Amino acid sequence: MPGILKTAFNRYWGVLLILVLWQAWVTIGELNAIVMPQPADVVVDLVGNPGIYLKNGVQTLALAGGGLLLGMAFGSLIAIACWFSRLATGMLVPLAMIFSSVPVVALIPVVARLLGYDIKTVMAIVVIVSFFPAFVFTSAGMRALPPGSEDLFQVLGASRKSRFRHLVLPAAVPNWMIALRLAAPSAVLSAMLAEFLMGQSGLGYMFRAAAGDFATERAFGTSVIATAVSVITFTLSQRAERAVNERWR
Amino acid sequence: MIRISKRRGQDIAYGAIGIAAFLGLWEYIGVNQLAGLTWPPLTAVLAFLFDPSRQTLFVRATSASFSMVGAGYVAGGVLGIVLAAVAHLVSPLKEGLGRLSSVIHSIPSIALAPLFIVLLSKEWSGMAIATLNVYFILFIATQSGLAAATRAHHDVFTVLGSNRFTRLIRLEAPAALPAIVSGLKYAVPAAFIGAIIGEWFGATRGLGLLMVSAMQNFQIPLLWSAVLITSAGSLMSFGLMSLVERFVYARYR
Amino acid sequence: MSGGTSILLDHVGKDFEMDDGRKVVAVEDVRLEIGAGEFVALIGPSGCGKSTLLRMLAALEQPSRGRVTVDGEAPEELSRNHRLGVAFQDHALLPWLSVEANVELPFRIASRAVDHARIAELIALVGLKGFEKARPSQLSGGMRQRVSIARALVLRPDVLLLDEPFGALDAVTRRQMNLELQRIWQEQHISTLLVTHSVDEALFLSDRVVVMSGRPGNILKEVSVPFGRPRDPEVMRSGEFHRLEDELTEALEQPGVAA
Ligand SMILES: Nc1ncnc2c1ncn2[C@@H]1O[C@H](COP(=O)(O)OP(=O)(O)O)[C@@H](O)[C@H]1O
Ligand SMILES: [Mg+2]
């Protein structure tokens, strides 16, 4: 089927090019197998040790997913609580914006030291990383109301409660989904980084262990699984956002 | 003279109160050791940070890290903008460049660690990850910016018999500028994150290295100082880009 | 309904302060009475303060001078008791709700039982049968305006305010909507203020046409419309209609008290 091949080439020539360059580099540079594993060796390690990869992959995915949802929940609940107080919003929003403009992963070592080297610390880090986008975007969404809607609710004699329920809360939903999409990849990344720096298990830890043992197939195999975990979270959050937007706008 | 509306003034005051409360809380927790010994008071961290005897240490680490950040920021920014423009102009390349970018984006930077350790000298992995992070943000921003000119504006150029180059320079590029500048703003923390992560993979210098070794050796004030410098650098660059963004939005939108 | 609601704008004026500190007089000094069950149309060049006047009536703006009363009370009472229907110039539909749910919204806000028959009837009346489940983003500008009219009417308000509600409609639909609006209004005799650009729409629908001058907004002229009801579109061909139309158009073309 040349048609399909052509489409595939049009789409993926860039990826292909990178792979060819990689192969060329390995061949021309004559890097030996300890430094640079053959793709086949990586596959053998993946297929030969499914248990290790699965266990650690699931752990990281669960930590990232659980922390993400918890952080999103905290962030949006606090944003909602703040809606009822201009002072609280005024105080917290600039702070949260400051935190979103600094590299939050730099807090990992600090949190690790504060809470101890523990799997709960990994979770706490993911919660912190997901909290800020959720708070910032939910707050903004509750203030970006459709044109004229505030006048409408006033004219209809809406109580504060019904304004909140029928206008403010639904208006924040698309922004909440943006926060989810933005927070998902950083949740996965920070879970792995936390495991890398201080964990005893999980994909991040596997990188460190493999590097220490010069087990390059294991390191590259872990890369494959880490990418898969990232793609899963990423795709799910993107799908969710798209589905919600279709219904919401 | 700038007139500040009452509402705006209130926002600024509340924000200042919030930041002051945060700093005060930090100090209070530290002084009373509410979070244990690993949470130092703000004043202790600042005193440690500005102690003249440690100046060389911090200056060396900061310049090493910030030059990685800067180099990655520039390289990623140029690559992202240029490749997005190429994808925009040469339609057969569009699909492939877009896919490549999103594949790169979906690989978490830590998964590139083995690759960088093998291929590059460890010293450069910070810059390389910063470059990739910035590249993706700028590629997407430029791509959507170049599509921002409205149908009606394009029709004007078509009717006037404009050539491709004129259309790019006079219509699409100015229309893309706000998106690009916003992209440059959001790329700032991404560049810092990239550089720090890269240094965690085994650099011999820099703030990231300082953080890890301080964490492992219980050097609490050193740890907080390194985090503080990194955050301050990112915050200031972000603030600077926000000013540029405000100017560009006022002029081009 | 006990004889309807009457509205008085008693020497009302409104100033806006611009960002640079300058003051803009949007409405200078307007005295306007809308009797119980009366239909008043307001015409005038754009920017003359028609919307501002309507917003003061809806208690969305506080007048800088003078006083607005509704049956002798503050206009806030109207919305507080869910007795006010407004169709805004920019429709103000909620994008996440379907047509049906948008029309339903006033019931929910007033915490009243949703009258599904009423909703279906109004949606049919504004010609949107079959679009109940559509979202505002899937509708044309004219269709959105019609949804907002249905929403304004759904609670059977005592006072109806319409800000250029048919602006985005084509001539044929507009004529049709005018007929429907007349029918609804006659059933209920709602005190109504209609802001419009169209002189013949104003003449066809209202009991009285008020012409405003350009900035600062003042009332230039008032004309009582003599035609009986229900009005047939035929009335628009009469000599009397044309005479009034010319008179009003001429008043509109007078240069406003130039600023
Ligand atoms: N919120 C506001 N702030 C400042 N100026 C306003 C505001 N609303 C209306 N204006 C000004 O008041 C004048 C009347 O506006 P408007 O009532 O909308 O006119 P119309 O509806 O007759 O077109 C205009 O000059 C407008 O610019
Ligand atoms: Mg108006």
Chains A and B: how many Cβ contacts under 8 Å? 169
CB distance from A106 to chain C under 8 Å? no
Q: Which residues pair with B201 in a beta bridge?
A: none
Q: Is C51 in the pocket of ligand 1 (CB under 6 A)?
A: yes
Using one digit for the tens of pLDDT, what is the confidence trace for A191-208? 999 999 988 899 999 988
Nearest chain A residue to C106, by CA: A156
Q: Are residues B62 and B26 in the same domain?
A: no
Give me ligand 1 centre to Cα C47, in Å. 6
Q: What is the mean pLDDT of chain A?
A: 88
CA of C164 to the centre of ligand 1 (A): 14
DSSP-H helix ranges across chain B: 6-31, 42-49, 55-89, 91-106, 113-119, 125-146, 151-159, 164-167, 173-200, 207-216, 220-252
- CATH number for position B141: 1.10.3720.10
Q: Please, which pLDDT band fits residue C258 given cuts at 50, 70 and 90?
A: very low
Task: Return the partners of chain A (3 or more C-beta pairs < 8 Å).
Answer: B, C
Residue B245 clears pLDDT 60, i.e. is over it: yes
Long-range contacts of C248-255 (CB under 8 A, 24+ apart): C248/C43, C248/C199, C248/C202, C248/C203, C248/C209, C248/C211, C248/C221, C248/C223, C249/C199, C251/C211, C251/C220, C251/C221, C252/C43, C252/C44, C252/C45, C252/C199, C252/C211, C254/C213, C254/C220, C255/C214
Name the CATH superfamily housing domain C1-83+191-259.
Answer: P-loop containing nucleotide triphosphate hydrolases (3.40.50.300)
Domain count, chain A: 1
Which residue has its alpha carbon closest to ligand 1 atom 8? C52
Same domain, B200 and B225: yes
Domain positions in chain C: 1-83+191-259
**Does B119 fall in a domain?**
yes
Query: In this complex, how many residue pairs, one in chain B and one in chain C, have their CB atoms less than 8 Å apart?
Result: 4
Contact C96 A170 (CB under 8 A): yes
Residue C1 has pLDDT above 60, yes or no: no
If you write DSSP's letter for every residue of C190-216 in order, what string do you get?
Answer: -EEEEE-S-HHHHHHH-SEEEEE-SSS
Stretch B38-66: mean pLDDT, rounded? 93
C194-213 pLDDT per residue, tens: 999 899 999 999 999 999 98
pLDDT value at position A191? 95
* pLDDT for C114: 94
Measured distance CA(C14)–CA(B77) in Å, rounded: 51
The span from the CA of A80 to the CA of B173, in Å, is 39
Question: Are B8 and B131 in a shared domain?
Answer: no
Distance between CA atoms of residues B87 and B210, nearest Å: 40
Which B residues in the span 131-170 are in contact with A, Cβ-Cβ below 8 Å?
A: none
- Residues B67 and B162 placed together within one structural domain of the fold: yes
- Choose one of C22, C24, C218 to mutate for the ligand 1 pocket test, by most ligand atoms within 8 angstroms of C-beta: C24
> Using CA atoms, how far apart are residues A204 and B110, in angstroms rounded to an integer?
8
Two tokens at B232?
A: 């301050």
Query: Looking at residue A31, what is its pLDDT?
Result: 61
The answer to whether residues B22 and B113 belong to one domain is no
The edge-to-edge listing of strands for the beta sheet with C23-34 is: C23-34, C7-17, C65-70
pLDDT of residue B2: 52
For ligand 1, whether the C-beta of C90 sits within 6 Å is no
Q: Are B134 and B106 in a shared domain?
A: yes
User: Over 60: is that where the pLDDT of B53 sits?
Assistant: yes
- When pLDDT is cut at 50, 70 and 90, the band that residue B29 belongs to is very high
Could you say which of C59, C109, C135 has the minimum Cβ distance to residue A166? C109
Check pocket membership of C46 for ligand 1, CB cut-off 6 A: yes
- Per-residue pLDDT, A35: 64
Q: Average pLDDT of A155-181? A: 93
Say which range, A41-45, A80-84, C128-132, has the weakest mean pLDDT.
A41-45
Query: What is the domain extent for residue B92?
Result: 52-252
Determine the residue of chain B that is closest to C20 in CA distance.
B3
Mean pLDDT in residue range A83-108: 89
> Does A62 fall in a domain?
yes
pLDDT at B1 over 50: no
Domain containing A48 equals 37-248
Query: Is residue B116 over pLDDT 80?
Result: no
Evaluate: CB of C24 within 6 angstroms of ligand 1.
yes
Ligand 1 within 6 A of C48 CB?
yes
- Please indicate, yes or no, if residue A3 is contained in any of the structural domains: no
CATH number of the domain to which A80 belongs: 1.10.3720.10
- Rounded CA Rg of chain B: 22
Q: In the structure, what pLDDT confidence band is assigned to residue A13 with cuts at 50, 70 and 90?
A: confident
**CA pair distance A103, A97, nearest whole angstrom:** 12
The answer to whether position B45 is within a domain reads no
pLDDT 10s digits, C71-93? 989 999 999 999 999 999 888 99
Q: Among residues 23-82 of chain A, which lie with CB inside 8 Å of chain C?
A: none
Q: Are residues B32 and B80 in the same domain?
A: no
Cis peptide before A109 (omega within 30 of 0): no
Query: C22 CB under 6 A from ligand 1?
Result: no
Does ligand 1 have an atom closer than 6 angstroms to the CB of C49?
A: yes
**Which H or E element spans position B53?**
none
Average of per-residue pLDDT values in chain B: 89
Whether B73 and B197 share a structural domain = yes
> So what's the pLDDT on residue C240?
93
pLDDT at residue C2, as a whole number: 47
A169 Cβ under 8 Å from any chain C Cβ:
no
Is residue A119 over pLDDT 70?
yes
* Whether B6 and B122 share a structural domain: no
Closest residue by Cα to atom 11, ligand 1, is C26
Mean pLDDT of B135-158: 89
Q: Which 46-105 residues of chain C touch chain A by CB within 8 A?
A: 55, 58-60, 79-82, 84, 86, 88, 90-96, 105
Range with the poorest average pLDDT among B3-7, B162-166, B192-196, C188-192: B3-7
Q: What's the pLDDT band for B120 if we cut at 50, 70, 90?
A: low
Least confident segment among B14-18, B55-59, B80-84, B155-159: B155-159
Residue B104 has pLDDT above 90, yes or no: no
Residue whose CA lies nearest to ligand 1 atom number 7: C16
C14 residue type, one letter: K
Enter the ipTM: 0.87
Shared domain for B120 and B244, answered yes or no, is: yes
Looking up tokens 């450069």, which residue turns up?
A: B124
Work out the percent of chain A whose per-residue pLDDT is above 70. Answer: 96
Which pLDDT tens digit goes with each residue over A223-236?
Answer: 989 998 888 888 89
- Number of structural domains in chain B: 2
Ligand 1 center to residue A110 CA distance, Å?
54
Task: Please tell me whether the overall predicted TM-score, pTM, comes out greater than 0.90 for this model.
Answer: no
Residues B181, B243, single domain; the answer is yes
Tell me what pLDDT residue B162 has.
83
- Interface residue A164 vs chain C (CB under 8 A): no
Q: Give the three-state DSSP class for B182.
A: helix
Ligand 1 test: best mutation among C12, C28, C30, C51, most atoms within 8 Å of CB?
C51
CA-nearest of B138, B109, B106, B104 to B126 is B109
The owner of tokens 């002229």 is C221
What's residue B160's pLDDT? 82
Average pLDDT (A5-10) is 81
